[in-house]
Amino acid sequence: DQQVKQNSPSLSVQEGRISILNCDYTNSMFDYFLWYKKYPAEGPTFLISISSIKDKNEDGRFTVFLNKSAKHLSLHIVPSQPGDSAVYFCAATGNQFYFGTGTSLTVIP
């Protein structure tokens, strides 16, 4: 039972353009959402988070948007850089912790 879903397993974007990664969740009790970035042979690295009381959080080139009514969050990366190429996981937490299955982002120079 996937409580956090990332329906796009992969995404390719040209350098300098916007990357939009999407995530859907099912449990309205989740109160905190996070995005992690993972390079091969490394553990996930925390990227950005958002509380359920907010609808947007920004950190440099990274912005996370939360739409509670749609149970949807997205990560925007602007401008995309080749070093952003990695697998991105969204995660949600309430009493438990759930991760999506990841989206592999490739930024083409």
Binding site for another protein (CB under 8 A): 32, 34, 36, 41-46, 49, 89, 93, 95-102
Taking the complex as a whole, how short is the minimal distance between the CB of residue 41 and another protein, in angstroms? 7
Place of tokens 């952003």: 84
- 37 or 80: whose CB is closer to another protein? 37
One-letter identity of residue 82: P
- 15 or 57: whose CB is closer to another protein? 57
- 74 or 93: whose CB is closer to another protein? 93
Distance from C-alpha of 11 to C-alpha of 57, rounded to nearest angstrom:
22
Closest C-alpha among 30, 36, 96, 94 to residue 68: 30
Taking the complex as a whole, how short is the minimal distance between the CB of residue 22 and another protein, in angstroms? 16
Taking the complex as a whole, how short is the minimal distance between the CB of residue 38 and another protein, in angstroms? 8
Which residues have a Cβ under 8 Å from the Cβ of 12 and sit 6 or more positions away?
Answer: 105, 106, 107, 108
